[in-house]
Amino acid sequence: MFTLYGMDLSNNVSKVKFAANIMNLKYDFKQVNLMAGENKTPEFLAINPVGRIPAIREGDFTLFESNAIIKYLADSNNSPLYPRDPKKRALIDQWIDFSSIHVQAALNRIFFNRIIYKMMNVPKDENSLAEGIKFVAQFLPIIDKQLAQSRYLAGNELTLADIDLLAILEPCEAVSVDLSAYSKIVAWRKGLQQNAWYQTVRKDADAAMQKVMAQLANAGAGAGAR
C-alpha cells in the first residue's frame, strides 16, 4: 500500500487514482491544501522538493510527477496498462508525451484563465487564454484521427496513454471546452467514463469543483454588494 498526496480537484491526481483503481491497488489518500500552503511545508517538500501534487510515498520510497507515478505503479504490479514489449511501450510513451506536453499545456492555459485566476485573485491573461484555445483546436484533431484507427490511443488495448488523456480532459466541461466536434474522442471518453474505477474518482472531483464554484460565486456576490 502507498500514500498518495494530492487534492480532489487536480486532474493529475485523478490520473494516479484512475490507474491505481484499475489495478486494484490500495492507497491512503492525503489531502494537500495548496491554498493554505501545505505543499510548501518542510514535511511535504521532503516528499516533493518542487512542492507540487501528486506525490506518493511507499515506505522510504517517494516519487513525484503523475506520469512517472503511474508508470511505476504499472511496472511494480506487472500491469498490461504498460506492457514490457519495447515497441508497445514506446507507442504508449509517445501518446503520453503528446497528450501531456501539448494537450494538457493548452488546457491548463484555459483552466487558469477561466477558473484559477479568480481563486488566486490575479488578472486574467487574455493572450494566454486565446493561445490555449488555439492549441486545443490544433492538437485534438490529431487524437480524434488516431482514435478512428484503433479502439484506444495506443492500440486496441487500454493502456496508460488512455488514463493520461482521460485525466487531462477532465476539466473540459468546467472550462467550457466543447468536444462535440471530435466524435471519436467523445465516444472513447464516454466508454471509459462508464467504469466504476472512473466514477468513484469523478464523484470526489465533482464535489471539489462544486465547492470551488460556490466559493467563487459567493465571493463575487460579496464584491457586488459593497
pLDDT in tens, 37-46: 999 999 999 9
Q: Which superfamily, per CATH, for 2-76?
A: Glutaredoxin (3.40.30.10)
10-21: pLDDT as tens digits: 999 999 999 999
The helix (run of H) or strand (run of E) holding residue 21 is: helix 11-22
Share of the chain above pLDDT 70, in %: 94
pLDDT computed for residue 119 by the predictor: 78
Find out whether 144 and 184 touch, Cβ atoms under 8 Å.
yes
- Residue 61 contacts by C-beta under 8 Å, 6 or more apart in sequence? none
**Start and end residues for every CATH 3.40.30.10 domain found in the chain:** 2-76
Name the one residue in this structure whose C-alpha cell is 488578472. Answer: 123
Residue 224 has pLDDT above 80, yes or no: no
Q: How distant, in Å, are the alpha carbons of 34, 59, 193 from that of 166?
A: 23, 29, 9
SS3 assignment for 98-165: HHHHHHHHHHHHHHHHHHHHHHHCCCCCHHHHHHHHHHHHHHHHHHHHHHCCCCECCECCCCHHHHHH
Tell whether domain 91-194 is in CATH 1.20.1050.10. yes
**Start and end residues for every CATH 1.20.1050.10 domain found in the chain:** 91-194
pLDDT computed for residue 226 by the predictor: 42
The pTM assigned to this predicted structure is 0.91
